[in-house]
Chain A
């Protein structure tokens, strides 16, 4: 047990750096995923047929294949076209992956807004785009916050998979330490603790946001 705490302490600075990488991967990929998700969801709800086909293809492929395959495909595939750093290959893969799930969240929330809202907006002379922006989206986005929070937490943990394209983040650092010291159980436990701490922080922030949305309407 003493060796566990010694290992925890001695690797703390390195893990802090790795945690910062995990945070950047997660943060940047989720911001991109929100943009991707919103664009695709809006494409789907326009009712334009070919946009819906694109949406179904995107969501179908991403949900139908494992994230690790998508990461590998992007990392080794994209180098044939452009040279991308491991960080950006990983970030973009994570963004495209989360984007599909977030698109589904947005689509569901937009479609859950009572259709009388759009009718009322249109009856007041609003164009559909204006009604979407002013009336539908504010209501839909508020409903999207709890499932989005869930997706953010999944995204944070999924970022561990970019360890396999050589990015030094929490999980790959644990693998390296485990391999060198042969203390696999200890270092994977340490990895778990770091993820647990980060998820706890994200959960806390999300619950604050939800409370604020409740009181602010």
Chain B
């Protein structure tokens, strides 16, 4: 589904990603963890080209994506993204947020998009909120709308960039529940998170990044109970 080979990324002189190799299989849930500054969010953002790699190859659905020759908007139609700060469109109602891209990018008839949009809002537990503006929602509700908005494009993979980090603790659960049900439906997901419980329960594979490289990866049971890399041991002892 997604394949990354020898990815390097610099911010000026700062070498953020130092040759990352990563492969995500269809229907796989990969959770990326690591200390802040380890490069996990940058790696995620490279996957839908919000950050441009400096070296290496990124393949989506088996095809290499070269930003110079591939229209990125076409690639992004298949790669949904959920942001830490939701980034809902404040001048549109919840339902308008959800149908915006299907109507204006995919050119789906509006009535059809509305019907599908209402289904998606129902799915994330916000069937009654379609006509309100985002500012009226709690953080957890906003993030669930953001998930519905990304799903409306029917992506083949969903990227989550610390989706619960900006939420009050009591609102984290409702977002994780939606993500769990997505995983159960077979969605391919790459998740950057600090929620170790979620990683343990939902991930097929945990990827631990340290200093711009993948230091360790494996199934969550093994990783959490018996981490091998000293940095991983150190990290887990601090967060668990």
> Which residues of A line the B interface, CB within 8 A?
114, 116-117, 119-127, 130, 134-135, 138-139, 142, 217
Contact status B76-A117, CB under 8 Å: no
Complex A-B: 27 CB contacts under 8 Å: A116-B83, A116-B87, A119-B50, A119-B81, A120-B81, A120-B83, A120-B89, A120-B146, A122-B50, A122-B72, A122-B76, A123-B48, A123-B83, A123-B150, A124-B101, A124-B150, A124-B153, A125-B73, A125-B74, A125-B101, A125-B105, A126-B105, A127-B73, A135-B89, A135-B100, A139-B91, A142-B91
Interface residues in B62-113 by Cβ distance below 8 A to A read 72-74, 76-77, 79-81, 83, 85, 87-91, 100-101, 104-106
> Which residues of B line the A interface, CB within 8 A?
48, 50, 72-74, 76-77, 79-81, 83, 85, 87-91, 100-101, 104-106, 133, 146, 149-150, 153
For B77, give its contact among A116, A121, A125 (CB under 8 Å): A125
Contact status A124-B91, CB under 8 Å: no
Instruction: Knowing A116-B83, A123-B80, say if A217 contacts B104 (CB, 8 Å).
Output: no
Contact status B87-A114, CB under 8 Å: yes
Interface majority SS on A: helix, strand, loop or mixed?
helix
Nearest A residue (CB) for B93: A217
Q: What's the nearest-Cβ distance from chain A to residue B181, in Å?
A: 21
User: Which 7 pairs between the two chains have the least Cβ-Cβ distance?
Assistant: A125-B77, A120-B87, A124-B101, A123-B81, A116-B87, A125-B105, A125-B76
Q: Which residues of A contact B101 (CB under 8 A)?
A: 124-126
Contact status A122-B87, CB under 8 Å: no
For A124, give its contact among B74, B90, B100, B133 (CB under 8 Å): B100
Q: What's the nearest-Cβ distance from chain B to residue A121, in Å?
A: 8
Instruction: Knowing A123-B50, A123-B150, A125-B153, say if A117 contacts B104 (CB, 8 Å).
Output: no
Nearest B residue (CB) for A130: B104
Beyond contacts A125-B105, A134-B104: 4 other A-B pairs, Cβ-Cβ < 8 A, are A114-B87, A124-B77, A126-B73, A130-B105
Q: What's the nearest-Cβ distance from chain A to residue B129, in Å?
A: 15
For B87, give its contact among A117, A134, A138 (CB under 8 Å): A117
For B76, give its contact among A124, A130, A135 (CB under 8 Å): A124
CA–CA, A117 and B105, complex, Å:
16
CA–CA, A116 and B101, complex, Å:
16
CA–CA, A139 and B88, complex, Å:
12
Contact status A123-B76, CB under 8 Å: yes
Nearest A residue (CB) for B159: A123
CA–CA, A30 and B122, complex, Å:
47
CA–CA, A142 and B87, complex, Å:
18
CA–CA, A68 and B83, complex, Å:
51
CA–CA, A120 and B82, complex, Å:
8
For A117, give its contact among B72, B89, B146 (CB under 8 Å): B89
Q: Which residues of A contact B89 (CB under 8 A)?
A: 117, 120-121, 135
CA–CA, A207 and B216, complex, Å:
60
Q: What's the nearest-Cβ distance from chain B to residue A141, in Å?
A: 10
Contact status B83-A119, CB under 8 Å: yes
Q: Which residues of B contact A126 (CB under 8 A)?
A: 73, 101, 104-105
Q: Which residues of A contact B153 (CB under 8 A)?
A: 124-125
Q: What's the nearest-Cβ distance from chain B to residue A192, in Å?
A: 40
Q: Which residues of A contact B104 (CB under 8 A)?
A: 126, 130, 134
Q: Which residues of B contact A138 (CB under 8 A)?
A: 91
Q: Which residues of B contact A121 (CB under 8 A)?
A: 89
Q: Which of A120, A123, A142: most chain B CB closer than 10 A?
A: A123
Q: Which residues of B contact A135 (CB under 8 A)?
A: 89, 100
Q: What's the nearest-Cβ distance from chain A to residue B155, in Å?
A: 9
Instruction: Knowing A119-B50, A217-B91, A217-B133, say if A124 contacts B105 (CB, 8 Å).
Output: yes
